[in-house]
Structure 1
Amino acid sequence: MTTSTQDWPGQYADTGVFVCFEGGEGGGKSTQSRLLHDRLVAAGFAVRLTHEPGDTPVGKEMRRIVLSPETGELAHKTEFLLYLADKSEHVETLVRPALGRGEVVITDRYVDSTLAYQGAGRALDRDELEDVSRWATGDLRPHLTVVLDLEPSAGLARFEGRDRIEGEGLEFHQRVRQSFLDLASRNPGHYAVLDARAPIDEIAVQIWERVEPLLVQAARNAS
């Protein structure tokens, strides 16, 4: 593909709010996404909490293949394409419909994880991966991506049993971390990079401060 990543304008849904949690292993994405979900539900919002890979029937099969240690080695491009199949199905059958209904969609991982893990981690060409990933998702982008940043050695220490990706070496995870930070620096208006070492409640407050204005804007769009 010849399209530069700079040529992608990006598409942000006109209805609903799309929030993504990204970052390396052990940064607390699941915890913070759940806390945000619970706060929004308590406030009366319709919310869909989801994740990649594996939150569709097709995705469950993709997740089993790409994460199970029993799978063994996969060609890097094969791994990328399996993740991409999950991503495309996820967006078309779950994310877009929920946004179309005006819901808040919170996803634990999205396109940036593919660019970081398969791009930087596996040393595949990130521009090519981004072009294909944007095509597969219709270039639907989160209104906000929260990157929970943590030194990889600290994050990995939080795990006992590791899947195929978590079991990669420290240098792999350091490349992944830097890729997330690089992606955030390209579009700071739609990213929040937070220190994952901070207390859980403090991080949750910082996230809410970024999400609340999006809720106000979504309400205006719907009126």
Structure 2
Amino acid sequence: MENNGLFITFEGPDGSGKTTQIRKLAAELEARGIPFLLTREPGGTQISDKIRALILNPENLRMGEKTEILLYAASRSQHVEEKIRPALAEGKIVLCDRFVDASVAYQGYGLNQPVDKIRAISRFATGGLTPDRTYLIDVPPETGRQRMRHRTGPEAGVTRDAGDLDRIEQRALAYHARVREGFFALCKENQQRILLVDGQTSPDTVFRIIRTDFLHLLKGKERRQTER
């Protein structure tokens, strides 16, 4: 299936603000009348959402680390086949909240599992699909934890206790510090694809950086299509 669209992913530690930023970019595309798909991982399809519920449920404390890795891959495989590749083939912009980089950072670095095996499993699950651009929004684990406990939206102003955090969010700060280091390593390895953005600045400042870069990518895509 030919890829005629743009595949954009958003990554970052929990509480980095990536979900806010992906929604801002979706609103920008909608205002411009550009066809797009806004989706997330784990999830994005009926099957994938059921797997998401298993992975994130705080009650599933006995879940093995290998099981966690394989469940993420299974969710991603269904997501790519059912939603992402068809949207790209239609020429849409796909905005995805997390993708393979998250598995490498969270299960590889965070859980100290073999990164090469996680990458191999992910390649099999996705057929080798790679984002055109990844926006990595960074914050320290302590900042992320504080933000998660004071989320905006329907629960604005309500302090969340540990029981309100999902199974991954509840892990120790040392785990989340390893995840962050994993993202830094990925950024260093993929400098042409990953744009690192300081998530401790204001949301508007973060979005200006993302918007400027994205519009540059979009112009390049339109230019290539014109030259065909």
Q: Distance in 1 between matches of 2:57 and 2:79?
A: 20
Structure 1 CA distance for aligned equivalents of residues 39 and 8 of structure 2: 10
What is the Cα deviation at residue 14 of structure 1?
4.2
- Give 1:96's aligned amino acid: R
Q: Report the Cα distance in structure 2 between the residues aligned to 1:63 and 1:120, rounded to whole angstroms.
A: 20
Correspondent of 2:186 among 183, 187, 203: 183
TM-score, normalised via structure 1 length: 0.92
1:53-76 per-position Cα deviation (integer Å, ceiling 9, x unaligned): 111111111111000112222110
Q: For 1:113, give the aligned amino acid.
A: A
Cα distance between partner residues in 1 of 2:224 and 2:121: 30
Distance in 1 of aligned mates of 2:84 and 2:221: 16
Give 2:9's aligned residue. 20
**Mapped contact 2:3–2:85 kept (Cα < 8 A):** no
Give distance in 2, aligned partners of 1:73 and 1:194.
35
1:174 to 177, 201, 220: 177
Q: Contact between 1:148 and 1:195, CA under 8 Å: does it hold in 2?
A: yes
Q: Is the 8 A contact 2:10 2:136 kept in 1?
A: yes
Partner of 1:32: 21
Where does structure 1 lack aligned partners over 5 or more consecutive residues? 1-12
Paired letter, 1:61: K
8 Å contact kept, 2:58–2:166: yes
SS in 2 for 1:50: strand
Asked if the contact 2:8–2:131 (Cα under 8 Å) also holds between the matched residues in 1, the reply is yes
Give the conservation status (yes or no) of the 8 Å contact 1:14–1:221: no
What RMSD, in angstroms, separates the aligned Cα atoms of the two structures?
1.1
Equivalent pairs counted in the alignment come to 211
Question: 2:88 is matched with which residue?
Answer: 99
Q: Give the whole-Å Cα distance in 2 for the aligned partners of 1:72 and 1:169.
A: 14
The letter for the 2-side match of 1:193 is: L
Inter-partner Cα distance in structure 1 for 2:190 and 2:208 = 22
State how far apart, in whole Å, the 1-side matches of 2:220 and 2:196 are: 22
Contact 2:42 2:76 in 1 (8 A): yes
Superposition deviation, residue 136 in structure 1: 1.0
> Which residue among 64, 73, 89 is the counterpart of 1:84?
73
Partner of 1:6: none
Q: CA separation in 2, counterparts of 1:14 and 1:133? A: 19
Aligned match of 2:221 in 200, 210, 218? 218
In 2, Cα distance between the equivalents of 1:44 and 1:221? 20
Aligned partner of 1:147 in structure 2 is 136
Preserved contact between residue 25 and residue 155 of structure 1 (Cα < 8 Å): yes
In structure 1, the residue matched to 2:117 is 128
Match in the other structure for 1:66: 55
Q: Please list, as runs of the form range in 1=range in 2, the aligned pairs for 1:151-170 lying within 5 A after superposition.
A: 151-159=140-148, 160=160, 161-170=164-173
Unaligned runs of 5+ in 2: 149-159
What TM-score do you get using the length of structure 2 for normalisation? 0.90
